Amino acid sequence: MSVLQEISQNVKNIKPLEYEILARRLSLIKKELRRGVKRPYKEVINVAMGDMHMSGLKPLTFVRQVLAACLYPQLMNSNKLPLDVRQRAQRLLGECAGGSVGSYTQTPGIPEIVNGVSEFITRRDGGVPSSPENIYISPGSQWSLMNIFKVLLNREASPRSGVLSPVPSHCTTTSSIISLGGVTVPYYLSEEQGWQLQVEELHRALESAKGVCNPVALYVINPGNPSGHVQSRKSMQDVIRFVSEKRLFLLADEVYQDLIYGEQTEFVSYKKVLAEMGPPLSDTVELASFHSASKGFMGECGLRGGYVELVNLDPAVMKYISTLFSTDSCAPVLGQMALDLMINPPQPGDPSFPLYNKEVEYIRTTVVHNVKRVAEVLNSLPGFCCQPVEGGSFAFPRLFLPPKAIQKAEEAELQPDTFYCLRLLEEAGVLLLPGCEYEQKKGTHHIRFCITSPQETMEEVLTRISSFHTQFMQEVSE
């Protein structure tokens, strides 16, 4: 088999996205609505993606003003922009070759911004040192993760390389592993315990890989996507001991670290917990931590700016990673600037601070309200069970479907929760995604939808889901 045939086979092994089924129907419905076709709704509400701006929340003014001035420097000659905006734009442009956002940068990123990321990490982790030499800015966290997978996964190995991955998990990560010839080894988060990660389950998953693949890494998402769970220190300590004992590389997806809602819940990075545990663990456990400007209160998904910090890697491996990252020249300059604005926002006393603080607090208050309302409404409906959302951008409630609903789905050649989502889209005009897109325990069904939308939008979504669900359950329970 040729290399191209092998790669093609790996791509063929990637499971088709259920979203494509829904997206095709969405396109047709939108065309019908434009033609004046009568439906129970005038427009479709799309809460399928973790895209804050698409969901209706507005971009932060400070961020867009600085980026606008960087794109059109003549704005810095006008008093229409606050002084700190003009000063930040001037500083950022001064760090660009030729004073232009259209120039290439160094492979890891603009040095001053990379240094800023390092300082941000040190502040976040209470003084745990961070070295700029271990940080690479990238076109989003998934791009960084894909590159690290390229280092970890040996396409020619027999048995193949494996990665312990959570269920539920973001489907893009699973697809990346498979496309590189790797094997995903699922470990199941405990839904009944609020989607907790339990080390006993990691041992079970590792045992299940025997004779199938050679596990080389453990992938964790904290806060969870789509589960919304935030790990405790003890849970993270258990994970770190596990990867050390089993000699696994630890991949920590921490892109939702700013979005925390649970009472008495806090985000703590894996790097900080590792440092607190001290030697020999803090000197030996290999870790890659990912963050992004796409999530959090910025929500700048389209700008494509993320970073990875690497901890305890061998210098020879770091040299190879540097070469690998350089194949894409550099991350988009506007994405790098977005990272700088995320890690160094306006401070009290700055002209932009009052408005910035007001906008961030509005987003926080809005999402906290949505989290409570989602739990209240869905848990009041028969056939739904929604675990508390402690962090992140999504709710992932379980859907208990009667046998008749499952039979109807089989007749339509659809997964049961895809069938439910398709009916919801068709009859109520709400687009969300089925749990089968993110893997789930056999025999269980879920839906995932974004909770980072305006309150009025979320209330309309919940009203439409409630009305549809009541009628649907009556129909399939007869």
- Domains of the chain (ranges plus CATH)? 3-56+364-477 (3.90.1150.10), 97-343 (3.40.640.10)
Report the pLDDT value the prediction gives residue 303, as an integer from 0 to 100.
92
Report the pLDDT value the prediction gives residue 15, as an integer from 0 to 100.
55
| pLDDT tens-digit profile, the chain (478 residues) | 555 555 555 555 555 568 889 999 999 999 999 999 999 999 999 999 888 998 889 999 999 999 999 999 999 998 899 999 999 999 999 999 999 999 999 989 999 999 999 999 999 999 999 999 999 999 988 889 999 999 999 888 889 999 999 999 988 888 889 989 999 999 999 999 999 999 999 999 999 999 999 999 999 999 999 999 999 999 999 999 999 999 999 999 999 999 998 778 899 999 999 999 999 999 999 999 999 999 888 889 999 999 999 999 999 889 888 888 877 778 899 999 999 999 999 999 999 999 999 999 999 999 999 999 999 999 999 999 999 999 999 999 999 999 999 999 999 999 999 999 999 999 999 999 999 999 899 999 999 999 999 999 999 999 999 999 999 999 998 6
The position carrying tokens 């499971």 is 15
What is the rounded CA–CA span in Å between residue 349 and residue 333?
28
Q: Which residues pair with 64 in a beta bridge?
A: none
Q: Residue 420: which of 408, 317, 411, 397 has the closest Cα?
A: 408
Report the pLDDT value the prediction gives residue 141, as an integer from 0 to 100.
87
Helix (H, G, I), strand (E, B) or coil at 201: helix
Q: Residue 476: which of 416, 432, 433 has the closest Cα?
A: 416
Residue 168 tokens read as 């539920």
Report the pLDDT value the prediction gives residue 3, as an integer from 0 to 100.
53
Element (H, E) at 80: none
Q: Residue 19: which of 53, 47, 61 has the closest Cα?
A: 47
Are the CB atoms for 337 and 420 separated by under 8 Å?
A: no
Helix (H, G, I), strand (E, B) or coil at 52: coil
Burial 414-451 (b: 16+ CB within 10 A, else e): bbbbbbbbbbbbbbbbbbbbbbbbbbbeeebbbbbbbb
What is the rounded CA–CA span in Å between residue 444 and residue 421?
15
Are the CB atoms for 305 and 339 separated by under 8 Å?
A: yes
Element (H, E) at 187: strand 183-188
Element (H, E) at 156: none
What is the rounded CA–CA span in Å between residue 105 and residue 335?
12
Phi-psi region of 23 (alpha: psi -120 to 50; beta: other; left: phi over 0): alpha
Residue 470's φ and ψ, nearest 5 degrees, are -60, -45
Residue 273 tokens read as 């917990």
Report the pLDDT value the prediction gives residue 424, as an integer from 0 to 100.
98
- DSSP string computed for 361-424: HHHHHHHHHHHHHHHHHHHTSTTEE-----BSSEE--EE---HHHHHHHHHTTS-HHHHHHHHH
Q: Which residues pair with 307 in a beta bridge?
A: 137, 291
pTM of the full structure? 0.93
Residue 137 tokens read as 């800015």
